Amino acid sequence: MKLIEPKIKLLPQSQFNFGLALWVKSVSIGFMLQGCSYFSPTESLPETVAIPREWSSQLSQASQTQAGLPSWVNEFSDTRLNELVSEAMQHNPGMQRLLAGVAVADDQTWLAWSKFWPQLTGGFKSSRNKRNNAAGFAVSPRPINNFGVSLDFLWEIDLWYRLGNELEATEHEKTAAESDLYAAQLSLAANIAKSWFDVTEASQQLQLAEKTIQSFKHTLDIVEQGYNLGVYKPLDVRLARSNLLGAEGRRENYLKIQDEAKRTLEFFLGRYPSANLTTTQQLPDIPLIVPASIPSELLERRPDIVAAAERFFATDQRLIKARKNMLPTIQLNGSVGTSTKKLSDIFNPENLIWNMAGSLTQPLFNGGQLFTEHSQAEARVKQAAASYAEVVLQAFREVETTLAAGQWLQQQYSLLISEVTESREAVRLAEADYLTGLTDIVTLLESQRRALDAESNLLELNKQRLQNRVNLYLALGSPIVEPNKI
């Protein structure tokens, strides 16, 4: 299973291995912009809500915790689930789209880096001309040939590190794209797990429905035999048949649910949704160990938070660039080449021609374009800061919600276990009383329906507990596989 887990970078200054970029930056430090905060990028993240030292939703005392976050897919000890997640990572179209997006972001970084280098263009020219007259002067009728080669260059000296700001912005955007991919991989794995639990739970419900149908058929046979002997009334028969038909309708409903769940899972896997997926009848056990972490760690681990932080720093770098666009620009340009009448002399050094020039330009008036671009850059920084704060708040909400839900689901599960036990015993007593005439058919059928509902609710609740645990792993940014396997 090949995943991309971006390196967490919370400082706005990316570290480059480009010798020229470092040299240009060192030159710019020597100028007066070094101590000017107006042209310096921010080195801190935007303010968010006050982060507590621990989660407000306390874990159950019966739960075990462990430091650090496990590779959560392996925590369910389900080999089939591991296979499905691996298949989805390789074949899901969304993953391929995001992988291509990372490649685009990487190429964008190289485009920004290319601006540091001189632009070189080479050319070859040839011409042939002839003058027929020259205002009465005699002119040779022989045409004149001219050949030449040239090498032209144009180089903008990044005196203020303006191009460097754009380069750093693209580096931040590249890391954000990698973080988006990793977040999508985590989300896809979670959707695969939850869909797999949906399919398995639907299979369990179908198994329960078939068992219930057989039980209701047995009850109907008893009632019909008693009716034929004159012991039971026609109403008893009608109610028993109605109970059986309801169970058969319930089975058809779960067939539909299972079909939809299979097609959804196949969609996530990148397969054709044919509903031919092989299922199992057993949900995995819920891991006893609950991952423990502190809220502040979430800022460094959740890929969506990392992506939002990187985009904030990218917009800040472009704001600095927009400010520097109002400063003078220095360019060097020149050319070297030859010009000759004979093609054979085109590379003769005696025919060499060269020139070099430099220019310094200062924007004076452009209809307010630079000021508008600066205003837009400032607005984008505010927008990115607000987006970062929103993502952080959303992440904390997801963790707190899933932690709290885990407690309520655990309490509900304990109660439902007792309800299933009591309802089964009630069915046994109702059947015995009905056969001896101590109770009516309504009591028997009602006890059977309550037992069916309790067992069905228990299956669904068990699935909800598993899916909530997946949501908790996702909210905490737990890795899908062990880091050494990424």
Mean pLDDT (whole number) for 246-270:
95
Residue at 282 is within a domain: yes
Q: Which of 151, 175, 226, 136 is nearest to 10 (CA)?
A: 175
126 beta partners: 147
Confidence at 58, pLDDT banded by 50, 70, 90 = low
Please check whether residue 65 lies inside any domain of the structure. Answer: yes
Residue range 90-119: mean pLDDT, rounded:
90
Question: Domain holding 276: CATH number?
Answer: 1.20.1600.10
Residue 41 included in any domain: yes
Least confident of 26-30, 78-82, 387-391: 26-30
Give tens-digit pLDDT for 166-193.
999 999 999 999 999 999 999 999 999 9
Sign of CA dihedral 89, 95, 100, 104: negative
Q: pTM here?
A: 0.81
At 275, is the pLDDT very low, low, confident or very high (cuts 50, 70, 90)? very high
Indicate if the pLDDT at residue 31 is higher than 60. no
Q: Of the given ranges (62-71, 207-216, 243-252), which has the lowest mean pLDDT?
A: 62-71
Q: What is the mean pLDDT of residues 342-348?
A: 78
In this predicted model, what pLDDT tens digit does every residue of 190-216 receive, in sequence order? 999 999 999 999 999 999 999 999 999
How much of the chain exceeds pLDDT 90, in percent? 53
On whether residue 449 sits in a domain, the answer given is yes
123 half-sphere exposure, CB direction, 13 A CA radius: 13
Q: Is residue 335 in some structural domain?
A: no
Q: Report how far residue 314's alpha carbon sits from residue 356's, in angstroms, rounded to the nearest whole number.
A: 36
32 versus 94: which is more confidently predicted? Answer: 94
Query: Is the predicted pLDDT of residue 146 greater than 60, yes or no?
Result: yes
Residue 389: the pLDDT is 93
DSSP letter for 391, please. H
Each residue's pLDDT tens digit, 394-428: 999 999 999 999 989 999 999 999 999 999 999 99
- Is the pLDDT assigned to residue 88 strictly greater than 80? yes
Answer yes or no: is 201 within a domain.
yes
Angle between the 79-91 and 93-114 helix axes, to the nearest 10 degrees? 50
Average predicted confidence (pLDDT) for the chain = 84
pLDDT of residue 68: 54
- At 205, is the secondary structure helix, strand, or coil? helix
Higher per-residue pLDDT: 435 or 69: 435
Residue 398 lies in a domain: yes
- Whether the predicted pLDDT of 247 surpasses 90: yes
Q: How many domains, the chain?
A: 1
Domain that holds residue 399: 19-115+159-327+373-485
Residue type for 394, please?
Q
| pLDDT reading at 483 higher than 50 | no
- The answer to whether residue 357 sits within a structural domain is no
Residue 364: its H or E element: none
